Amino acid sequence: MFQINEDYLKLQGSYLFSTIAKKIQVFQEENPEKDLIRLGIGDVTRPLVPAIIEALHKAVDEMADAKTFHGYAPELGYEFLRSAMAKNDYTDRGCDISKDEIFISDGAKGDSGNIQEIFAKDNKIAVCDPVYPVYVDTNVMAGRTGTFNKETEMWSDVIYMPCTKENDFKPELPKETPDIIYLCFPNNPTGSTITKDELQVWVDYANKVGAVIIYDAAYEAYITRDNVPHTIYECKGARTCAIELRSFSKNAGFTGVRLGAAVIPKDIKRGEVTLHQLWARRHGTKYNGAPYIVQRAGEAVYSPQGKEQIKDQVGYYMKNAKVIYEGLKEAGYNVSGGVDAPYIWLETPKNMTSWQFFDYLLEKANVVGTPGSGFGPSGEGYFRLTAFGSYENTLAAIERIKNI
């Protein structure tokens, strides 16, 4: 008689953004006349840029002709895309990553959820708190996190690294030694980031204790300051301890196109076994490649026109970030993030909990944001707004918030 994976039942509630979607649905059914502005889930709103559209049409036409038709993709991904990434994201930045260390995927959410599979079940993870829920939830599903304490809202076998205004939203090295460390800079959800020197401390620490860093670089395109690293491989020694996850969702608007990559240097080993070879085996066995037309779209992101156009698009969102950041400051909120990231992180006023503030903003301003507590216990009392709306909606949302 089949039995279910009991670890799934340990998951708390449903996935954060599903809960928000359901709350919005109820609100809209009860208030059909209200015009909601969504600055909650990190979904982009700008159309794909012309260079990408052109590449997509061209690839579609290739699929219409037997001579240029493409079936199953190569397991790692097409060479044209891996080469473009290796050059633009790594070699041109002076980082030593080869195209054979890049595994093309259908996005960073899947990679960040699946990567834990190649590690032993009793390995201990460390996460920033607050944190993107996928890192923890997928480890819960794998039975790696122990028991949940409803009082503290923490898992017994997870090492939490609080990121609050007290430490400027930067994690400190944990007291207990982890095996796997999840880091994301520029950070989701806090919008904060760390300098290259600060990241070097983490790389040195991981190499010292034999930990691996899963480095989520999804928001790299939003970096504006010089001393903030665009990839963890800018740090010395990262090739022996760091996996990097790349996304096309936020730099090029691919949330509905689906493309990402995991970078696994061949130097990360345990005994004779490399993590590269384990991930290659997983890719070959459980995955069948990103669509050809999507990989061509990804290639266009690195063309001269593509680069120019997506730079403008990122600029558009960063103008929104400034509107939110400055507008909230004016309105008397304590705000952070928004300088090297599309996320603005604010303290909820009047001792409201994050979910109280979510309801308050939904009802009073008809603006949707994301409750900080949904990202972990140290997110309680905070709230996330994203810069991915239209400029007009962003202006309107901030006006509404100011006028509550």
Give residues 312-351 in contact with its own copies (rule: CB under 8 A).
Answer: none
Q: How far is the CB of 250 from its own copies (least distance, A)?
A: 11
Residues 272-311 that bind its own copies (CB under 8 A): 273, 275, 278, 281-282, 284-294
Buried/exposed code over 198-227 (b: 16+ C-beta within 10 A; e: otherwise): bbbebbbbbbeeebbbbbbbbbbbbbeeee
Pick between residue 54 and residue 347 the one whose CB is nearest to its own copies.
54
Residues 130-159 that bind its own copies (CB under 8 A): 133-134, 137-138, 141
Rounded Cα distance between 224 and 230, Å, is 10
For residue 261, give the H/E element and its range.
strand 260-263
Q: How far is the CB of 124 from its own copies (least distance, A)?
A: 9
Q: How far is the CB of 108 from its own copies (least distance, A)?
A: 9
DSSP 3-state of 182: strand
8 Å CB contact between 351 and 390: no
* Residue from 36, 83, 98, 113 in contact with its own copies (CB under 8 A): 113
Pick between residue 323 and residue 401 the one whose CB is nearest to its own copies.
323
Residue position matching structure tokens 């009860």: 30
Instruction: Sort 377 into a burial class: Cβ within 10 Å, 0-12 / 13-18 / 19+.
Output: middle
Q: Write the CB contacts of 112 (distance below 8 Å, at least 6 apart in sequence).
A: 132, 134, 135, 138, 182, 214, 216, 245
Residues 22-61 that bind its own copies (CB under 8 A): 41, 43-48, 50, 53, 56-57, 60-61
8 Å CB contact between 291 and 256: no
* Residue from 12, 15, 167, 315 in contact with its own copies (CB under 8 A): 15
**DSSP annotation string for 341-377:** SSEEEEEPSTT--HHHHHHHHHHHH-EE-EEGGGG-G
Stretch touching its own copies by CB under 8 A, among 63-71, 221-229, 367-375, 377-385 = 63-71
* Residue from 34, 121, 266, 364 in contact with its own copies (CB under 8 A): 121
Q: How far is the CB of 210 from its own copies (least distance, A)?
A: 3
Rounded Cα distance between 336 and 44, Å, is 21
Rounded Cα distance between 323 and 318, Å, is 9
* Residue from 8, 79, 224, 227 in contact with its own copies (CB under 8 A): 8
Q: How far is the CB of 395 from its own copies (least distance, A)?
A: 16
Pick between residue 25 and residue 227 the one whose CB is nearest to its own copies.
25
Residues 193-252 that bind its own copies (CB under 8 A): 209-212
Pick between residue 123 and residue 353 the one whose CB is nearest to its own copies.
123
Residue position matching structure tokens 């009802």: 363
Q: How far is the CB of 133 from its own copies (least distance, A)?
A: 8
Rounded Cα distance between 391 and 298, Å, is 26
Give the contact letters, 73-92, x = binds to its own copies (CB under 8 A), - = no: x-x-----------------
8 Å CB contact between 247 and 132: no
Q: How far is the CB of 128 from its own copies (least distance, A)?
A: 18
Please tell me the count of residues contacting its own copies according to CB under 8 A: 82
Stretch touching its own copies by CB under 8 A, among 22-30, 90-98, 111-119, 222-230 = 111-119
Rg (CA), the chain: 21
Residue position matching structure tokens 């944190």: 131
Determine the length of the chain: 404
Give the contact letters, 89-108, x = binds to its own copies (CB under 8 A), - = no: -----------------xx-
DSSP 3-state of 328: helix
Pick between residue 69 and residue 197 the one whose CB is nearest to its own copies.
69
Q: How far is the CB of 9 from its own copies (least distance, A)?
A: 7
257 binds its own copies (CB under 8 A): yes
* Residue from 32, 33, 71, 403 in contact with its own copies (CB under 8 A): 71
Q: How far is the CB of 107 from its own copies (least distance, A)?
A: 5
For residue 139, give the H/E element and its range.
helix 133-141
Residues 168-187 that bind its own copies (CB under 8 A): 179-180
Q: How far is the CB of 281 from its own copies (least distance, A)?
A: 6
